[in-house]
Amino acid sequence: MSQPFTPSAPVASPETGPRLLLIDADEAPRHALAGHLASHLRLVPAVVEGDGGGLSAPIAPVVVTESGSVPEALAALAGCPSGDGWDVVLLGAPNAGAARRAVRALRVAGLDPPVIAMIPPDGPGEDADTVAWPAGVTRTARPARLSTLVALLRAALAPPVDGTAAPADGFDLGPYACAPRARTLTDRHTGAVLALTEKEAAILACLWGADGPVSRDDLLARVWGYGDSIDTHTLETHIHRLRRKIEPDPRQPALLITDTDGGGYRLAVSPS
């Protein structure tokens, strides 16, 4: 569902699903995007406790709340009885400077949800943006593809699925003992240790924590955050290199499997 932001608009309760604040001064495209997101963000990865570990569970539709600016959003929030804020913020800005000021205003007001900032590659009146962004902020291009935004928002609303999501002693992957935090794969028969890069360890931990295949867009969002430097072949290159490390025959992978239906990836435990 999508709702205009007015002082009387209630912030969604947990029963109505995650709460997304969409900030953009351009009303028409903002409202159109709000409708698209409300329609597409109906399934968000969630943790369900049980023998299966982290599972992907359906939840209520995301509630999208619109605002033309941070001050307008804060004023409306102050007029709401709950005043709980939002679970994630999607921010449209004309340039990096405006986006940074908006993020700073949110943080000063005591709001610290993840922020996805949509910024044109070459915003008007700005020098090259080379300063690191604050923690919890992901930058993406403006205009952004809907599939990209959906993947980023799902990643922001999901529990962490990096190396810290794996158990302290790692997990078994075919003949290997995988330790994402240490970035190693140890052959349980020979004791040989394979070193993993940071991204390789994060990919394995992400796939291990999922119940079924993980889409390409979700992997890019969770492992790389859709940084500006990511090109269309980055994930495939890392998957190829990882398979050369762990698979007996990389041409016929038995551990890191490509999902033929959805185009994502999953892990399969091969006989040890």
Domain with CATH 3.40.50.2300 in the chain: 2-157
Tell me the pLDDT tens digit for each residue of 76-115. Answer: 887 665 556 788 999 999 998 999 999 999 988 888 888 9
| Count of CA atoms in the C-beta half-sphere (13 A) of 108 | 9
- Which pLDDT does position 140 carry in this prediction? 83
* Class at the top of the CATH hierarchy for domain 2-157: alpha beta
Highest mean pLDDT among 71-85, 108-122, 157-171, 243-257: 243-257
Q: Does the structure show a pLDDT above 60 at 250?
A: yes
Residue 163 has pLDDT above 50, yes or no: no
Which of residues 152 and 93 earns the better pLDDT score? 93
Question: Could you read off the pLDDT of 64-85 as tens digits, one per residue?
Answer: 899 999 999 998 887 665 556 7
pLDDT at 1: 43
C-alpha dihedral (159, 2, 108, 161), degrees to nearest 10? 10
Residue 53 corresponds to which amino acid? G
Is residue 172 over pLDDT 50? yes
Residue 209 CA to residue 212 CA, distance in Å, equals 9
Using DSSP's 3-state secondary structure scheme, residue 161 falls into coil
| 147 or 100, greater pLDDT | 100
CA 117, CA 245: separation in Å to the nearest integer? 36
Q: Pick the residue with more confidence: 63 or 127?
A: 63
Q: What residue has token string 């804020």?
A: 85
Beta strands in the chain (DSSP E): 2-3, 19-23, 63-67, 88-92, 115-119, 137-141, 171-173, 176-179, 184-187, 193-195, 256-258, 265-267
What's the rounded mean pLDDT across residues 37-46? Answer: 63
CA triplet 224, 226, 229: central angle to 5 degrees? 85
- The top-level CATH class assigned to 163-267 is mainly alpha
Q: Give the per-residue pLDDT at 46.
A: 38
Per-residue model confidence as pLDDT tens digits over 200-239? 888 998 898 787 888 888 888 788 765 444 455 778 888 9
Q: What is the pLDDT of residue 14?
A: 41
Q: How confident is the model at residue 129 (pLDDT cuts 50, 70, 90)?
A: low
The residues of the chain that CATH labels 1.10.10.10 are 163-267
Average pLDDT, the chain: 75
**Residue 124 burial (CB < 10 Å; 0-12/13-18/19+)?**
exposed
Q: Is the pLDDT reported for residue 28 higher than 70?
A: yes
